[in-house]
Structure 1
Amino acid sequence: MYRASDEVQNEEWLTDLRRAAESLELSGEARSNATDLFLSHVPDADRSKPATAAAALYAGALIAGDERSQTDVADAMDVTRLSVQQRWKELLRDAGFSPPTW
C-alpha cells in the first residue's frame, strides 16, 4: 500500500505515466493498476523512477488484459525495453500475481 502523500511526492512520474497511458490508449483499469503498482513500489532513487513507472504501466496493462508490447511501453515512457523487461515480473509478484510464462 501507499500513502496519499506518495501521490503528491511523485506527481511528476505519475504525470509521465498518465501521458504514456494516454498515448498507448490504455483502458482506465490498466491506468489505475499501473498507478497503484508504481505508488506501491516507488524506488528511492529518482533515476530509477522512470523505469519503475514503465514496468508498472506494462504490468498494469497485463493485469487488465489490455496488453501492449514492452517496446511500445518503453518508447511511450522514454526508457529502454530492457528497463521494462527487468522490472515488470517483480512488480507483479510483489502485488500477489503470478507472471505469465510465455
Structure 2
Amino acid sequence: MYRASDEVENEQWLADINEVADRLDLAEEARSRAADLFLSTVPETDRSKRASLAASVYVGALIAGDRRSQGDVADAAGVSRLSVQQRWKDLIEQAGLDAPDW
C-alpha cells in the first residue's frame, strides 16, 4: 500500500513507467499494475529505482496477461536483463502474489 504523497514524490518515475509501457505497447491494465507495484515497493535510492521500475513493468504485464520477455522489458527500461531477473520474484511476493511455476 502507498500514500497519495508517494505518487507526487515519484511523479517522474511514474512518467518513466508510462514511457517504457509505450515502448512495449502495453495495455492500460498492465500500466496500472506496474505503477501500483512500483509505488508499493519504492526503493530508497534512485540507483535502485530504475531496476525496480523495470521489474514492476515486467510483473505488471505478467499479472495483466500482457506478458513480455525480461529482455524486452529490460531494453525498454534501459537496464540489464539480469536486473529484471533478480528483482521480479521478490516484487511479486511483496505484492502478496504467487510467482508462476514455469
Amino-acid identity (%): 65
Q: 3-state DSSP class of the match of 1:2?
A: coil
Any unmatched runs of 5+ in structure 1? none
1:87-98 equivalent positions in 2, closer than 5 A: 87-98=87-98
Q: 3-state DSSP class of the match of 2:14?
A: helix
Distance 1:66 1:56 in 2: 13
Any unmatched runs of 5+ in structure 2? none
The alpha-carbon deviation at position 57 of structure 1 amounts to: 0.3
Q: Could you give the per-residue CA deviations for residues 41-70 of structure 1, whole angstroms, max 9, x where no partner exists?
A: 000011000000000000000000000000
Q: Which residue pairs with 2:11 in the alignment? A: 11
What is the TM-score with the length of structure 2 in the denominator? 0.97
Q: Which residue pairs with 1:26 in the alignment? A: 26
Distance 1:77 1:12 in 2: 14
Distance 1:75 1:17 in 2: 13
Amino acid at match of 2:24: L
Runs of 4+ in 1 over 6 A off after TM superposition: none
Paired residues in the alignment total 102
